[in-house]
Structure 1
């Protein structure tokens, strides 16, 4: 199928999905509403909770999670191989960033030396540890790459400021970013290691940090690959279990923040915001997902389309986040779309799925 045809079919399907009432069941499209979007589950043979996900293409994807689990498929999810790094059986690999079928960087979370970064260049046959945290008060949550060489990893605050690592060699080595360009953290403020999306990037130099836990849910923005940051309040709720869990930016201006309260996943709290100025100001949508959402991604071809996921379902927007409709009731923690237009989701009990059209 040619790329323009894929775009057209997806646009029709998404439009039909938004026409379905908010109370519709996941297969409502088959009942006369035309084509809809659905997740097609891909049996992984794992029962790990998979909060890390990196979609490379329609054929290749990586997922990571509890028990040091790393999974990889090279055939579109028909089969999965477990390629877990040795010695990580007790660790939570909450984030993974892959560049192709052979190269990936994974992050384990936790206090002290539980926070580690490992890297493979042979499809997971072997792994090299490139960072082990020696700061007892640091707790790394997520990482993101601008390109194959430049990336950032984020820790909760150390000495009152969020701590960052940077790499310029594809994750082979990491160095602590000086904290003088980072604004002070609020009391109780931290990042949520829920989906690998508490730090996100767009283009070659712009990055965003999502926060919660304090009196306000905030987003920090850097336009110089993490050296200096500006901070803004969002419209999302914040408390010890609530805040911004993930951001996704179409470009350096247009972005979406999702979150809510993970302790009340069905609660109708302020759980989503949009920005058109790079995160300086945030607006509430006209309609929003009903409950906590932990992951969000833009579709690479349909520039106004984004998908959000959480434990109570998945939602889609056609208008850059102003209006949302549910299209699946299954539980997922994270979502990612590849450059070729394929979209993947992952979550509890080894659940991984690819986005498909339903008729």
Structure 2
């Protein structure tokens, strides 16, 4: 039996991890496995655009269609009470994704939600939009979904359960160029809006890549397992690993401004850089709870959330934080600032309104 060490983003302590543990149980098609660096035994399917999603290691390899057909997500009456792992703004609309392929939309800043159909029922872990209409979501089974209508309908761009490598996050610079990252060093890139995906390596090991985000200008950052912080100053063409005084898992990060970044992860560990990742200072969070997601506002307010209902708030660009716990102690995976300034939290038992952010 291969060593099971899936400590990727949003799979941490408490109810959040318990809810996902069943989908990663031995014998299931989501079971994680060790993959040697450079392993090219991969396959994928693309239901949108021309050609299958590129999958083999290297810059130009193509893959055969997956023999496993995806099962569409069920429209569930209680979807708004399900586990939600990531959310974002699409214009003024909130879009949230989570377990069983659930995609939820809100047009009133999180007060009410409705479920959108999805072509796969794989757990979704990341979602990003480049404008009010065009967005992508990623998740287990190396699933990549795309929408052109603000999340009302979604098309499948990649689906590869035989990889046994979940995707954890996605980032697009524009309508053409995007990157998705995931378990065991999985790094997929597209230059045609997701019609085809190329598999690359940005590290020689097989450590999990848990989140990707933009900082300033052409700078992009990936964080992951074993204190991994990888920085690109050319929108992802080349990557450099930056030293961090920590060897545990990082689950995500937020850019406060073009130079200031806060990253965080296992057991309450968090670090701040004011030089775009060149150097890092540890932050005293006052908690051992896993920190999963967060949001930063243009005026330097930062909110970081995590297991056990943990909320860290900062008014000084992440230099210091105030720790509180939500009374329900439900695990939190992400936080988003709504179009009206509302703070909306996502995790166990769906979205939660939590006041306002400047």
Q: Could you tell me the TM-score, scaled by structure 1's length? A: 0.69
State the Cα distance separating 1:95 from its structure 2 match. 1.1
Deviation per CA, 1:277-331, whole angstroms, max 9, x where unpaired? Answer: 222221112554452211122112x13x211001222111122222110245253
| Gap change, CA 1:166 and 1:45, over 3 Å in 2 | closer
Residue matched to 2:105: 72
- 5+ residue gaps in structure 1? 1-42, 193-197, 262-268
Deviation, structure 1 residue 211: 1.2
CA change 1:50–1:117 in 2 (3 A) is: same
Which residue does 1:119 correspond to in 2?
146
Aligned to 1:40: none
1:23-62 matched pairs, under 5 angstroms: 46-56=80-90, 59-62=92-95
CA gap of 1:352–1:189, structure 2 versus 1, over 3 A, is same
Residue 266 of structure 2 corresponds to residue 260 of structure 1: yes
Structure 2 distance, partners of 1:139, 1:45, is 22
Offset at residue 55 of structure 1 (A): 2.5
The aligned residue for residue 302 of structure 2 is 306
CA–CA distance in structure 1, aligned partners of residues 255 and 101 of structure 2:
29
Q: Distance in 2 between matches of 1:343 and 1:257?
A: 20
Partners of 1:150 and 1:117 in 2: CA distance:
14
Q: TM-score, normalised by structure 2?
A: 0.69
Distance, in Å, in 2 between the alignment partners of 1:339 and 1:203 is 22
Assess if the C-alpha contact under 8 Å between 1:346 and 1:352 holds in 2: yes
Compare 324-333 and 291-300 and name the one that shifted more.
Answer: 324-333
Distance 1:337 1:145, change over 3 A: farther
Q: Distance in 2 between matches of 1:44 and 1:137?
A: 28
User: Is the Cα–Cα contact under 8 Å of residues 299 and 341 in structure 1 kept in the other structure?
Assistant: no
* Structure of greater relative contact order (alpha carbons < 8 Å, 6+ residues apart): 1
The 5-angstrom pairing of residues 51-200 of structure 1 reads 51-56=85-90, 59-86=92-119, 88-89=120-121, 91-109=122-140, 114-133=141-160, 136=163, 138-157=165-184, 162-169=185-192, 171-176=193-198, 178-179=200-201, 182-185=202-205, 189-192=207-210, 198-200=211-213
Deviations 1:117-172 (A, max 9, x none): 11122344432112234873644221112345432111333xxxx34222345x34
| DSSP-derived class of the 1:279 partner | coil
CA distance in 2 between partners of 1:206 and 1:340 (Å): 28
